[in-house]
Amino acid sequence: MKKETSCINTRAIIEYVREHNNGDCSPLFGDLDPEIDSLSEPTEFFTDPNNWISCGVACKLYDRASKLLDDPKVAFKIARFAVERTSFGYVQRIVIKAFWSIRKGLQNLQKINDRWNRSKRVELVEISGNEAMIRLHWDPTMEVCKHLCLMNQGSYTFMPLVWGGKPLYLKETSCFFEGAPYCEYHLKWTFRNRVHEIFSRLFTSKSVLKETIREMEADKRIIEEKYEEVNRLNETLGYKIRQLVAIQQTG
């Protein structure tokens, strides 16, 4: 399975489905990917942000959540849920908050994206006053889907909540998943959000945030390497077990 998106995103899917389906997220699992299907506890895998999955698996999870809850906009709502309920992840919130404002956050969208996703290039086309236009250039070699577009719309819309501000106004003017070469969003926000950004900055040390990010990123790389090693060992062990079972059955 390709490593294209962090499970920090799938954790939000699972938590949202649990809350809206009487605590049961089991309908999300099964026939996702051989590597995932072989796990005894897929929930643990999908809720650990150090794990990565393919966009195809992520899209299957969003699609199943959408059908289960009868909600075609579920990915957008999951993004809001993630920000409001801190499923966003401590590191993720710290990184975004470190940019101090909507403007800085938008100017660094690619950096933010690259920490947890490898499926697209984010282009800030224009930013002026309290308005901006961005484009998402999706990787056509990956199994991306409209749910990912909706999730990004939700993430950008509710990004100001990290600073205690109000949601952005977002309008999609073209969509890759409807035949356009990219997804294009026009964003607008209230100047009152600036007050929340200033207060957030006053009560949070920039040096502390940057040092925290450096330490967390170093730990994150080490943990990811260990996870990869463990996953490879598990795959090898599983293969050998299947070989032994096959030998016993034929013997």
What's 58's domain CATH number? 3.90.1520.10
Kindly state whether residues 218 and 153 are assigned to the same domain: no
Angstrom distances, CA of residue 174 to CA of 23, 117, 136, 168, 178: 36, 21, 10, 18, 8
pLDDT digits (tens, 9 = 90+) for 142-189: 999 999 999 999 988 988 877 777 888 999 999 999 999 999 999 998
Kindly state whether residues 125 and 34 are assigned to the same domain: yes
Residues 205 and 159: their CA atoms lie apart, in Å, by 20
Total number of domains constituting the chain: 2
pLDDT digits (tens, 9 = 90+) for 101-148: 677 777 778 887 887 889 999 999 999 988 999 999 999 999 999 999
> pTM score > 0.85 for this model?
no
Kindly state whether residues 142 and 227 are assigned to the same domain: no
Structural domain boundaries, residue 17: 5-204
Kindly state whether residues 79 and 183 are assigned to the same domain: yes
Q: Is the dihedral of CA 115, 61, 147, 189 positive or negative?
A: negative
**DSSP-assigned letters across all residues of 199-233:** HHHHTS-HHHHHHHHHHHHHHHHHHHHHHHHHHHH
